[in-house]
Amino acid sequence: MLDTPTVRRFVEYVHQAIDLSSTSEEAIDAIRPRFADLLADEGWLPAQYMEQVEDSGMGGGIGQWLLHRTDDGSLSLFSLVVPPASETPIHDHLAWGLVGLYRGTQDEEIYAQRNGALELSERRALVPGDFYALIPPRDDIHRVRTTSAETSVSIHLLTNDTGCVWRHAFDPESGQAQPFRSGYVNVPCDEEEE
Ligand SMILES: [Fe+2]
């Protein structure tokens, strides 16, 4: 994982903000300016964490690199690297958080569940520096697709161990949910995997 002063300071601030907030919305508002700073800072993320990865848990050459997580699984920070024209499955996160674009451009599609089916509720085009909050259950299901000729890199701050929890991937046609665990490229989820 990435144990640097920038990441340590950011994570410390996030913990403080969560402790001092009574709702996820309040914590998100407190974290926003620091998250914007992180996305604007060109220098803190080593090239390794911006590499695409064949045969990853996300598929499509998508690399999910863990940068930091707390021992109790209440917070994770990771980069998601999506090659040109590649897209994630439609998936959920099961925890609130912030997601922002660091490199390249992406389209994000947000879905709502209605009577077991998925309905596209919003589509956003993102450029570096743009970010959004994910708050379940309303804004928890989405898919991202790289629209730039270069690989896109987004930074995810979530209030669970997103890569290791069992969550869901959804069939776009039927809306049916499948158990889904993406894992991380660089860190195992279970001790047996080490
Ligand atoms: Fe996501």
Using an 8 Å Cβ cutoff, are 62 and 56 in contact? yes
- Average pLDDT taken over every residue of the chain: 95
Distance 9 CA to ligand 1 centre (A): 24
Distance 92 CA to ligand 1 centre (A): 6
Q: How many residues does the chain have?
A: 194
Distance 91 CA to ligand 1 centre (A): 6
Give the chain's radius of gyration (CA, Å).
16
Helical segments of the chain, H only: 5-20, 24-40
**Could you say which DSSP state residue 49 is in?**
G
pLDDT for 97-155, tens place per residue?
A: 999 999 999 999 999 998 889 999 999 999 999 999 999 988 899 999 999 999 999 99
Would the pLDDT of 190 be above 90? Answer: no
Q: Quick one: which of 14, 144, 106, 22 has its CA closest to 67?
A: 14
With tokens 């390249």, the residue in question is 104
Q: Quick one: which of 103, 175, 104 has its CA closest to 141?
A: 175
Using an 8 Å Cβ cutoff, are 119 and 154 in contact? no
- Tell me the two tokens of residue 182: 């993406």
Distance 142 CA to ligand 1 centre (A): 6
Binned at pLDDT 50, 70 and 90, residue 40 comes out as very high
With tokens 């959920």, the residue in question is 92
Distance 5 CA to ligand 1 centre (A): 26
Distance 12 CA to ligand 1 centre (A): 23
Distances (CA, A) of 23 to 30, 32, 177, 182: 11, 14, 28, 28
* Mean pLDDT value of segment 27-39: 98
The rounded distance, in Å, linking the Cα atoms of 163 and 64 is 8
pLDDT for 135-147, tens place per residue?
A: 998 889 999 999 9
